[in-house]
Amino acid sequence: MTTPTQILVIGGGQSAEHEVSLESAASVEAALRRRGYAVESITIGRDGRWQRGDAERDDTAPGGRVVDTLAAALPAIARADVVFPAVHGALGEDGTLAALCALAHTPIVGSGVRAGAIGMDKWATKLVAEAVGIRTAPGRLVHARALAAVAFDGDAVVKPVGGGSSHGVALVRDAIGLDAALRAAALHDDRILLEQPVVGREIDVAVLREADGSRWAAPPLEIHADGLFDTATKYDGSARFSVPAVVSETERAAVTEAALRMFDALDCAGVARVDFFLTDDGPVLNEINTMPGMTAASQVPRMFAAAGVPYDELLARLVDAAAVPVRDRRCAPATPTPGGAG
């Protein structure tokens, strides 16, 4: 394997997670520079235009057709040994960037097209989870064009099928609230998921696939929030995290095994965060994130730090794993204990 030296970090994007993605990209870029990599960066604007560096932030970048700005960015993709996509949400995390890099034959950090697309689709994720024996909340799928026909039949969590960072997610307790929540969710996706609320502790598990093909789970994290862990709670500082989560060995084994099983079912690569509700009857899957927040303060780096893998090293491991052709990775067994990787 040739050691990668030239890395292209892509941030921004057209989803509601644009600002969060910029923070992830800036943090990743700084950390990789500290590790000695040569790093270029590209920002995808909210309008879809590709710009070198942070030009999109200061509004000094020239205009032009989206396709022209993409064409101008292709040489940077060609120069890169590895692309590190820090674009969360639609037209990024959903396999779109993975497909572009696959067509360009440029290695990319993280999951491929299939895992990204299924992981971003909460309904498809539920179907896969249930097929491999992982419990999910009972739910139903509705389309934005049929909102008027959706009747309130009890408390529900409403969420866009393809949304991220909890944008458009709401807990509803009456018909009026349901109508407002459906319309808010429809701003983010034309497919909407209604799920029965699950009573349980919110536990996240981060899984990493190493360069040798092995994958392992960091110690789980617990989210402490009053009520629904929605977008406001995620970013206003009111939520607290416990890392590692205070759980029994049996509970830890259950969420870890379920996270690894889901990671494998989607054929994930790089890193993924698998979110659960831990109930009296065991874990219930909430969702999987194939390109989670990646600042040093984000949940995934916190979990790996608790396993003895500092932030800069975590990013270097992701780059090294991406540089290995898929056909050359060994199918090594999981090592779910802290520090058990590499």
The predicted-structure confidence for 284-334, as pLDDT tens digits, reads as follows 999 999 999 999 999 999 999 999 999 999 999 999 999 987 555 444 555
What percent of the residues of the chain are helix, what percent strand, and what percent coil, each to the nearest 5? 35, 25, 40
Q: Would you say residue 1 lies in a domain? A: no
Tell me the average pLDDT across 49-58.
70
Q: Is-contact 187 167, C-beta < 8 A?
A: no
What's the domain count of the chain? 3
25 contacts: CB under 8 Å, gap ≥ 6: 9, 10, 11, 12, 41, 43, 86, 87
Q: Is-contact 197 155, C-beta < 8 A?
A: yes
Residue ending a domain, among 158, 180, 195, is 195
Do residue 174 and residue 221 come from a single domain? no
Cβ count near 5 (within 10 Å): 14
pLDDT at 164 over 90: no
Q: Would you say residue 338 lies in a domain? A: no
What's the CA angle centered on 28, arms 275 and 290, to 5 degrees?
Answer: 30
How many angstroms separate the first and last alpha carbons of the chain? Answer: 16
- At residue 150, the pLDDT reads 92
Say how far apart CA 152 and CA 131 lie, in whole Å.
28
Task: State pLDDT tens for residues 66-77.
Answer: 999 999 999 999
Say how far apart CA 251 and CA 274 lie, in whole Å.
15
Say how far apart CA 314 and CA 34 lie, in whole Å.
13
Do residue 124 and residue 247 come from a single domain? yes
Say how far apart CA 210 and CA 320 lie, in whole Å.
8
8-state DSSP, 91: T
Chain centre to alpha carbon of residue 305: 18
Share of the chain above pLDDT 90, in %: 78
Higher-confidence residue of 117 and 337: namely 117
Q: Would you say residue 182 lies in a domain? A: yes
Structure token digits, residue 313: 């090293």
Do residue 88 and residue 209 come from a single domain? no
**Domain span at residue 169?**
139-195
Do residue 77 and residue 225 come from a single domain? no
The pTM for the full model equals 0.88
Do residue 219 and residue 287 come from a single domain? yes
Say how far apart CA 227 and CA 249 lie, in whole Å.
27
Structure token digits, residue 276: 């659960």
148 pLDDT band, cuts 50/70/90, is: confident
Cβ count near 275 (within 10 Å): 21
Q: Would you say residue 22 lies in a domain? A: yes
Structure token digits, residue 224: 């402490």
